[in-house]
């Protein structure tokens, strides 16, 4: 249901959309399990909840804990993750061609994530992109987070592009809600950290303008932007 308004800026969610961070999260969570004599979890089980955040992953591993005990485990988990944050994290295979296309076309791009700033900054420090993101908005940059539209509106402002000319891509329903709330075009990254979807699903899970099954589809879309 894409509209005819031209796309002049691309905004990405981070985990599960721009970067595959799942292996480092899985290592950190299972190391936390080992540190507290808890059975480790399967990688695929962890992957499905990465985009739900650190608390959800901690609850997955320690379902009987709550309150201060749960928060202590969460902090331990995030500290382990911080120390191992870029051991295996990479740009999703097939997406770097798209980032190169943005650089070649001088199309600005940015990142809007609910990941805390101390983790976002550490992660991005050692990654090389074909062009630099003009805006990086973390979960604690403002007092509100997605699905509130404010972080996306700030990113659009920092990229000097009107919200209606931005496309926001994410792998969680909050991403689509935030983009829609901001008056942006939206796209679902169906290769991200989603719960299991039925085989040959004909109905897409969220009300987005575009649905990308693979990172390479995004790259092809970016390469054709100037012709849209």
Rounded-to-integer distance, Cα 147 and Cα 97, Å: 29
Residue 102, CA distances (Å) to 11, 110, 133, 220, 223 in order: 12, 11, 11, 11, 8
Residue 80, CA distances (Å) to 14, 61, 159, 216 in order: 19, 14, 33, 32
Contacts of 187 (CB under 8 A, 6+ apart): 167, 168, 169, 170, 208, 209, 210, 211, 212, 218
The catalytic position among 13, 20, 175, 209 is 13
Six-digit token string for 125 = 């420090």
Strand partners, 110: 11, 135
Is 13 noted as a catalytic residue in this protein? yes
Q: What angle do CA 88, 89, 95 make, to 5 degrees?
A: 130
3-state SS of 74-87 is: HHHHHHHHHHCCCC
Give the active site residues. 13
């Amino acid at each position: 249901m894409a509209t005819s308004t031209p796309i002049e800026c691309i905004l990405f969610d981070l985990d599960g959309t721009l970067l595959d961070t799942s292996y480092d999260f899985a290592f950190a969570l299972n190391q936390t399990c080992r540190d507290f004599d808890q059975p480790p979890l399967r990688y695929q089980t962890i992957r499905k909840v990465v985009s739900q955040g650190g608390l959800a992953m901690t609850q997955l591993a320690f379902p009987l804990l709550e309150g201060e005990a749960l928060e202590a485990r969460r902090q331990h988990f995030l500290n382990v993750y911080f120390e191992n944050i870029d051991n295996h994290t990479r740009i999703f295979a097939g997406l770097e061609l798209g980032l190169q296309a943005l650089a070649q076309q001088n199309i600005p791009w940015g990142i809007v994530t609910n990941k805390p700033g101390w983790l976002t900054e550490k992660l991005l420090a050692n990654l090389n992109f074909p062009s630099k993101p003009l805006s990086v908005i973390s979960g604690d940059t403002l007092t509100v987070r997605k699905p509130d539209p404010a972080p996306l509106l700030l990113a659009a402002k920092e990229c000097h592009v009107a919200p209606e000319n931005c496309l926001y891509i994410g792998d969680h329903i909050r991403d689509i809600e935030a983009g829609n709330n901001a008056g942006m075009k939206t796209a679902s990254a169906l290769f991200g950290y989603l719960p299991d979807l039925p085989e040959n699903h004909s109905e897409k899970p969220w009300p987005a303008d575009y649905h990308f099954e693979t990172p390479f589809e995004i790259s092809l879309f970016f390469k054709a932007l100037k012709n849209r």
